[in-house]
Amino acid sequence: MKFDQPAGTNPIDQLKVVGRPTSRIDGPLKTTGTAPYAYERHDVVPNQAYGYIVGAAVAKGRIRRMDTSAAKAAPGVVTVVTTLDFPKPLPLGMQNIAHLFGGADVAHYHQAIAVVVADTFEQARAAAALIRTDYDRVPGRFDLAREAPNAPLEGGSSGEGSAAPAIDRIGDFAKAFAAAPVKVDRTYTTPDESHMMMEPFATIASWDGDKVTLWTSNQMIAWSKGSLAKILSIPPENVRLDSPYIGGGFGGKLFVRADAVCAALAARAARRPVKIAMQRPLMANNSTHRPATIQHVRLGATKDGRLTAIAHSSTSGNLPEGKPETAVSQTKLFYAAPNRETYMKLAVLDLPEGNAMRAPGEAPGLMVLEMAMDELAEALDMDPVELRAINDTQVDPEKPGTPFSERHYVECLRTGAGRFGWSRRNPKPAQVREGRWLIGMGMAGGFRGNILTKSAARIRLERNGRLTVETDMTDIGTGTYTILAQTAAEMMGVPLSQVDVKLGDSDFPKSAGSGGQWGANNATAGLYAACMKLREAVAQQLGFNSADVAFADGKVSAGGRSAALAEAARAGPLTAEDGFDPTDMGERWQQATFAAHFVEVAVDSFTGETRIRRMLAACDAGRILNPKAARSQVIGAMTMGVGAALMEELAVDTRFGFFVNHDLASYEVPVHADIPHQEVIFLDFPDDKSSPMKAKGVGELGLCGVGAAIANAIYNATGVRVRDYPITLDKHLEKLPQVA
């Protein structure tokens, strides 16, 4: 289905099922432990052996030799596959930066260098410890601050919407900044972060002749099918992926990882199915992470707060041929200013691969831009909400001829401020106390692009009147099963209980996949297209004029006549397949989502400990398909923002080149006790230029800006500005106001 004009009135607009707060239809499976995650697919193939990955013990160098004799002789061992069995690194998969296996060269710490296969997990783990590896270690580059001064300019894209050229100039920034009566010129840093999803990277692989099936945990099935075919040097039609349930991904499972490649190689060598769950330390060092950044922001404004000049630069690091963290991307679009400059630099580092993590680019970029905006508001003696409101724009600031499809950022600011009680905030820092606690409020804006991409689905009307939906779309805990069922129920006029949804199988039609907060809108739009075809087929089968037909309450009606929907499938199931093709709609209009985040914190004046007391997000994200699931996504993202602001940081050993805190005990993430009440407001502005669903994404928007809102609240509470995330107590303790 070509989508080349704004959507008119359509069956989704009935909102009998879509748009209603609906409990997840997969909830009973999740809560009873019967949802089959990758490592638990015990029934898919018999005689599964256990694989255990061995990671490199150096960050950069070359393997001189590997002695696997003791491991091969250990009890229960079936086979041992080493990287030296392959003279050269295996080909790179789609958007992989680091080679996942093969060859003697070591590019980063915990790079997979062997996989041991045994009858039990314990036998495989014990045997892996018996492998003796000799290395020729060479010096590496592990310190971003040291490499940053010589880093070259480098443009790039996150692959999911956040992108910027190496350098971009509009107007004359230098002249405008020099002339601005009010200026901010600050440098900020954000650290390396880990996805730390609960479910590890996990795969079961089984060969049938020259064809391989992988039951795995992956967000983008079509991408990964193609990647595995390339890595394994086999035709794509010989690869099948199946990933119906995913225990968190956050971008870490967008691409093929070493668990899938090692399982496939090991299963081929062992001549039996092999299952691998990547051990937790390797999840930080072997897979991907969000790269650290050093960011510089300069803002120039008139005395009434109107921005005349914006400059934002970001320096990050990655492996050779890697991409930068696109932290300046949102700055190109968020606020109006006639004179603009953004650029990115990329240092070559020999740390593990930097790649997509929830809201890549915007998440660390807004942690900085929105703190700088707060500093500008203080310099102007102006309310931070008002500063943002007067610098709003309804067109792309760099391309004034391109309007936003829908942009209601000011409404987010006003609505959020009113609900949160922002007017009660004391603008002078360190003035509000409750006993030993210093109390402060902060706010920040949120921005995330709305990406349109092709997505297909198949729907079948069964003989018994039930509907079956099939698409390779994935559910990473976001509620995809439910919103697809809602879409089918709305379009075909049946109860939600009459729809069965099957996901995550590469044998199904190719969908948008889960990433870049594009999944919900595009995947439901693809199903919408398939349902439109099925409606035509049903009408034709029943002898109705398809232009006048109505689908409701399990019946099909037109011209004063009606028939049960199931009647159309009496002679056999009816199947329809189609997809959503957004054509150039994403270029004709600038498409994005917006939010305003408000936070209240308390900082212990004795210890410097920060406690979050209240959080609120007001979101403009088009039509909300399922408010209950969408709220869950936003409060989860807000919680992730708390982690980024206050505790999350991969500590780099700059001597030996690895992340020291590579487990859940030492890499701190927020727990329930850290998170207070969170309020989410969804503004009702359907976007008819986004899709027939008139929806947009929201799962990453909820993260964008949260960190800065917390940082700004801490400053309001204490009067101490910390510009290096995370804001741990050691960074402001000595500067806190004296205790009375």
For domain 173-192+290-450+588-735, which architecture applies?
A: 2-Layer Sandwich (3.30)
Instruction: Give the containing element (helix H, strand E) for 282.
Output: helix 280-285
pLDDT at 545: 82
Residue written as tokens 């009702």? 684
Q: Hey, what amino acid is at 542? A: L
Cα 37–50–92 angle (5° rounding)?
75
Q: Is 724 exposed, middle or buried (0-12, 13-18, 19+ CB in 10 A)?
A: middle
- Which parts of the chain have pLDDT scores under 70? 740
How far is residue 86's CA from residue 92's CA, in Å, rounded to a whole number? 14
User: Under a CB-based contact definition with an 8 Å cutoff, are residues 267 and 203 in contact?
Assistant: no
Q: How many CB atoms lie within 10 A of CB 701?
A: 29
> Residues with Cβ < 8 Å from 500, sequence gap 6 or more?
466, 467, 468, 469
How far is residue 79's CA from residue 83's CA, in Å, rounded to a whole number? 13
pLDDT at 740: 57
For the chain, residues classed under CATH 3.30.365.10 are 11-36+453-581, 47-139+200-246+253-285, 173-192+290-450+588-735
How far is residue 478's CA from residue 699's CA, in Å, rounded to a whole number? 8
pLDDT in tens, 374-404: 999 999 999 999 999 999 999 999 999 999 9
Options 362, 411, 700, 734, the catalytic residue: 700
Closest CA to 422 of 388, 375, 380, 372: 388
Q: What is the largest CA-CA distance in the chain?
A: 84
Report residue 711: phi and psi, to 5°. Answer: -60, -40
pLDDT in tens, 322-332: 999 999 999 99
Closest CA to 447 of 706, 721, 156: 706
Residue written as tokens 């150039």? 584
Sign of the alpha-carbon torsion through 706, 707, 712, 715:
positive
How far is residue 490's CA from residue 552's CA, in Å, rounded to a whole number? 8
How far is residue 579's CA from residue 492's CA, in Å, rounded to a whole number? 17
Domain over 11-36+453-581 is classified CATH 3.30.70.920:
no
How far is residue 41's CA from residue 36's CA, in Å, rounded to a whole number? 6
User: Under a CB-based contact definition with an 8 Å cutoff, are residues 626 and 482 in contact?
Assistant: yes
Report residue 368: phi and psi, to 5°. Answer: -95, -55
Tokens of 608: 């410097």
User: Under a CB-based contact definition with an 8 Å cutoff, are residues 225 and 236 in contact?
Assistant: yes
| Through-space distance between the first and last CA atoms of the chain, rounded to whole angstroms | 69
Q: Hey, what amino acid is at 664? A: L
How far is residue 108's CA from residue 149's CA, in Å, rounded to a whole number? 22
**Global model pTM greater than 0.85:** yes
3-state secondary structure of 258: helix
User: Under a CB-based contact definition with an 8 Å cutoff, are residues 71 and 103 in contact?
Assistant: no
Closest CA to 506 of 252, 257, 244: 244
How far is residue 627's CA from residue 206's CA, in Å, rounded to a whole number? 40
How far is residue 627's CA from residue 360's CA, in Å, rounded to a whole number? 24
Q: Hey, what amino acid is at 660? A: V
Instruction: Give the containing element (helix H, strand E) for 578.
Output: strand 574-580
3-state secondary structure of 170: strand
Closest CA to 397 of 294, 312, 516, 521: 312
Instruction: Give the containing element (helix H, strand E) for 581.
Output: none
How far is residue 260's CA from residue 82's CA, in Å, rounded to a whole number? 15
How far is residue 250's CA from residue 254's CA, in Å, rounded to a whole number? 8
Fold of the domain built from segment(s) 47-139+200-246+253-285: Aldehyde Oxidoreductase; domain 4 (3.30.365)
Q: How does DSSP assign 600-645, residue by residue? A: EEEEETTT--EEEEEEEEEEE-BB-S-HHHHHHHHHHHHHHHHHHH
Tokens of 150: 């010589």
3-state secondary structure of 503: strand
User: Under a CB-based contact definition with an 8 Å cutoff, are residues 197 and 249 in contact?
Assistant: yes
User: Under a CB-based contact definition with an 8 Å cutoff, are residues 694 and 487 in contact?
Assistant: no
Q: Hey, what amino acid is at 546? A: S
Tokens of 236: 């794509």
- CA 293 vs. chain centroid, Å, equals 18
pLDDT in tens, 633-649: 999 999 999 999 999 99
Q: How does DSSP assign 130-142, residue by residue? A: T-EEEEEE-----
700 is catalytic: yes
Tokens of 645: 């602001």
Tokens of 671: 């727990």
CA atoms within 13 A on the CB side of 110: 23
Closest CA to 150 of 405, 349, 376, 362: 349
Q: Is 614 exposed, middle or buried (0-12, 13-18, 19+ CB in 10 A)?
A: middle
Strand extents, DSSP E, 123-201: 132-137, 156-157, 163-164, 167-170, 182-190
pLDDT at 465: 96
pLDDT at 163: 87
